[in-house]
């Protein structure tokens, strides 16, 4: 079982909907990450939070809005998405920020935009 929990596992939403993805970890990690993975492609970094502050935004469109309410929780708010945003969204955490050698991934949320 993964130590990073993502909910929901699957999500189908229309282009006018507003939805949120949730990620939770209880390992005491202080950095959390969102990745987007299209089918048959490697993951692409979207955001990095360090000590609950946004430290990296990889030029992600504003229809994706991250939020880190506390050190254990990471949300990704979705609004006015496009069909090409359909992908697997992966959350990860690490002990320290940008500790790329220590990433722990969740199982992802499979998002379909109709």
Partner 1 sequence: AQSVTQLGSHVSVSEGALVLLRCNYSSSVPPYLFWYVQYPNQGLQLLLKYTSAATLVKGINGFEAEFKKSETSFHLTKPSAHMSDAAEYFCAVTGLSGGGADGLTFGKGTHLIIQP
Q: In the complex, which residues of this chain contact partner 1 (CB under 8 A)?
A: 2, 4, 6, 40-43, 45, 90, 92, 97-101, 103, 105-108, 110
Instruction: Classify residue 44 as left (phi > 0), alpha (psi -120 to 50) or beta.
Output: beta
Token look-up 């048959």 returns: 40
Min dist. Cβ of residue 106 to partner 1 (A): 5
Residue 63 or 105 with smaller CB distance to partner 1: 105
Query: Closest approach of Cβ 49 to partner 1, in Å?
Result: 15
Closest C-alpha among 68, 104, 63, 75 to residue 7? 75
If the CB atoms of residues 7 and 15 are measured against partner 1, the closer one turns out to be: 7
């Amino acid at each position: 079982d993964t130590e990073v929990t993502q909910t929901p596992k699957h999500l189908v939403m229309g282009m006018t909907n507003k939805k949120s993805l949730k990620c939770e970890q209880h390992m005491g990690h202080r950095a959390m990450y969102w990745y987007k993975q299209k089918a048959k492609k490697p993951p692409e970094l979207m955001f990095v939070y360090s000590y609950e502050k946004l430290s990296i935004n990889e030029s992600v469109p504003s229809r994706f809005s991250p939020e880190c309410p506390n050190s254990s929780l990471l949300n990704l708010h979705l609004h006015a998405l496009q069909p090409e945003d359909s992908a697997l969204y992966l959350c990860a955490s690490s002990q320290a920020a940008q500790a790329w050698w220590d990433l722990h991934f969740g199982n992802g949320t499979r998002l379909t935009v109709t």
